Amino acid sequence: MSDDTDSSAAGERLPPVVVGLFGPRRLVKTMAEAGQQVAERHAPNRVKFVTGGYDDQAEAEDRYRRLRDRIDSAVFPGPWQFDLAADGHWLTVPSTHLPLTGAALYAALLRASLTIDDVDLSRVSIDSLAAADVEEAYAEIGLDTTHVHDIPYDGPESVAGFVAFHRAKREQGSTLALTTILSVERELRSHGVPVLRIAPTRSSVRDALETAVLLGQGTRMGAHQIAMIAVQLIPTGTSRTESGDYWQQELALSTHQRLLSEARQVGATVARRSDTLFLVTTTHGALVQLTEQFSTAPFLSALTAQLGVPVAVGAGTGQTARAAEANALMAVEDSVSRAGRVAVYLDDANARTDLPPGTGRAVTESAPQDGAPPIDPRAIEIVTSIAAATGAGPQVIADVETVAEIMQVTQRTGRRMLKELVDAGLAWPLPPARSSGGGRPRQQFRLLTEKLE
């Protein structure tokens, strides 16, 4: 009783998992039935299986894409379909495939002996299985392999020769073709070749589904691992002389604003360490999204282009926030040493990956990102009115008193309006100006009228 309780409690601590089942409809039905048994072994509602069955291999990618955002791992019917997904670059989650080895061959030979009259199991052609698997299976049942011919699976391109192989062996006296590929089975039938499809046993299906559940749990747990992204501005010699401290602070505010806009879309937070260094705290799953599965540098190209100064980016993961931060800071130093030409990623095993600049996720200044809220029309109206009244050109500076006077409201309302503009990304708070007469310095804001163009 205690063991069952402990097992249930352990299951509840594991993240819920959704596994996608892909393949021909009949096989997917068998996989789904086995999935019910697998789900019952786990804590209630912790494992779910969704199906993506199809009638033709040409439909496989479409079925996968429809489910890819809902699944944590996937199971394919065999190595060919798995390799097609991987080579086609549409595989997005850890995946496995059903094993097609000795047990599957035993089952196919037994079905053939029970369902096909006058079949000679010692004169067959077999595709996909390795010669060693075929010889072992035949040795177990005491049959000679002298006239048993096999062609192993050797990558997706090898499948194109399966039909010709079976037809040739049929002409040489083979009584039955055994294939693992639905399309091969259909074409052989159309040519009148006796054929039977090798299908995995239910036991091997359950084993593959259990493997997929473990892969999915690893995905979910890994996706929540802490990750840090360090963004370091690299001011040039010319930029350091422009407007002194004010220019530095304005550049820092601009960088912070852009990073906040991007971070909101992946649930990340941004901390400003200095006028030139920023830390984005996120998860491994979000980092995968930002880097397009570690194929491109996050933020690098867009920030460099929009800020007008080089930017270095370093990303890191770790078992703790401190470890992730340390890796991110080491990575950004490496990026700085190469003038920000590439971003650098250090994982929790200190394995390094260079991330080249690319289109990536654009950090835009005015256009809303996918899913980002549009600029509030009221905020646009306020900025337009103030800019028109001041006639100050592109550099519009305002304070509470100015806004209250132009908009004909109280100073309290004017202060609230300025806060709305800051929240909408249409105003920056500037460093407080020193007052020659003493007293509290007046807080001024730069209105970003260029965002209205």
One DSSP character per residue, 4-26 reads: HHHHHHHHHHSPPEEEEEEEEHH
Pick the CATH number of 377-452 from 3.40.50.300, 2.40.50.140, 1.10.10.10, 1.20.1260.10: 1.10.10.10
Residue closest to 338 by CA, chosen among 312, 299, 357, 361: 312
Among all chains, which residue has been given the structure tokens 């190595």? 79
Which part of the chain is CATH 3.30.70.270?
A: 224-355
Distance, in Å, from the CA atom of 81 to the CA atom of 156, rounded to the nearest integer, reads 8
**Cβ density class 360-380: b for 16+ within 10 Å, e for less:** bbebeeeeeeeeeeebeeebb
Among all chains, which residue has been given the structure tokens 């009228």? 449
Report in angstroms the alpha-carbon separations of 53 from 28, 205, 216, 273: 6, 15, 20, 51
Token readout for 231 is: 């963004």
Segments of 90-172 assigned E as strands: 95-97, 124-128, 149-152
User: Which fold is adopted by the domain 2-98+202-221?
Assistant: Rossmann fold (3.40.50)
Among all chains, which residue has been given the structure tokens 């040519």? 191
Which part of the chain is CATH 3.40.50.10660?
A: 102-197
Q: Are 78 and 180 in contact (CB under 8 A)?
A: yes
Residues 6+ apart with CB under 8 A from 13: none
Alpha helices, DSSP H, located in 142-201: 162-171, 182-190
Which part of the chain is CATH 1.10.10.10?
A: 377-452
Q: Are 102 and 136 in contact (CB under 8 A)?
A: yes
For 258-270, how does the pLDDT look when each residue is reduced to its tens digit (9 = 90+)? 888 777 666 677 8
Distance, in Å, from the CA atom of 109 to the CA atom of 190, rounded to the nearest integer, reads 22
How many residues appear in the chain? 453
**DSSP 3-state helix, strand, coil percentages of the chain (rounded to 5)?**
50, 20, 35
For 69-88, how does the pLDDT look when each residue is reduced to its tens digit (9 = 90+)? 899 899 999 999 999 999 99
Q: Are 112 and 137 in contact (CB under 8 A)?
A: no
Q: Are 221 and 301 in contact (CB under 8 A)?
A: no
Residues 6+ apart with CB under 8 A from 96: 73, 74, 75, 76, 82, 208, 211, 212, 215
Q: Are 258 and 303 in contact (CB under 8 A)?
A: yes
> With respect to CATH, is domain 102-197 assigned 3.40.50.920?
no
Cα-flanking dihedrals φ and ψ of residue 429, to 5°?
A: -75, 130
Please list the pLDDT of the chain residue by residue as tens digits (453 residues).
444 444 444 344 457 899 999 999 999 999 999 999 999 988 788 899 999 999 999 999 999 999 998 998 999 999 999 999 999 989 888 899 998 877 889 889 999 999 998 899 999 999 999 888 899 889 988 999 999 999 999 999 999 999 999 999 999 999 999 999 999 999 999 999 999 999 888 988 999 999 999 888 876 766 667 788 999 988 665 444 444 456 677 778 888 888 887 776 666 778 888 888 998 888 777 788 788 888 888 888 878 777 777 899 999 987 667 788 899 999 999 999 998 889 999 987 788 999 998 754 444 333 334 444 456 677 788 888 888 887 655 567 788 888 888 888 888 888 888 888 877 777 766 555 444 444 555 677 777 776 665
Predicted pLDDT of residue 242? 46
- Amino acid, single-letter form, for residue 293: Q
- Amino acid, single-letter form, for residue 349: A
Predicted pLDDT of residue 243? 44
Predicted pLDDT of residue 3? 45
Pick the CATH number of 224-355 from 3.90.1150.10, 3.40.50.2030, 3.30.70.270, 2.70.70.10: 3.30.70.270
Residues 383, 386, 392, 395, CA torsion sign: negative
Predicted pLDDT of residue 8? 45
Predicted pLDDT of residue 296? 87
pTM (2 decimals)? 0.52
The separation between the first and the last C-alpha atoms of the chain, rounded to the nearest angstrom, is 70
Distance, in Å, from the CA atom of 386 to the CA atom of 372, rounded to the nearest integer, reads 26
One DSSP character per residue, 227-288 reads: EEEEEEE---HHHHTSSHHHHHHHHHHHHHHHHHHHHHTTT-EEEE-SSSEEEEEEEHHHHH
HEC assignment per residue over 274-333? CCCEEEEEEEHHHHHHHCCCCCCCCCHHHHHHHHCCCEEEEEEECCCHHHHHHHHHHHHH
CA geometry: angle at 196 spanning 192 and 201, to 5°? Answer: 170
Q: Are 425 and 375 in contact (CB under 8 A)?
A: yes
Predicted pLDDT of residue 376? 67
Q: Are 425 and 438 in contact (CB under 8 A)?
A: no
Among all chains, which residue has been given the structure tokens 């048993």? 148
Q: Are 282 and 331 in contact (CB under 8 A)?
A: no
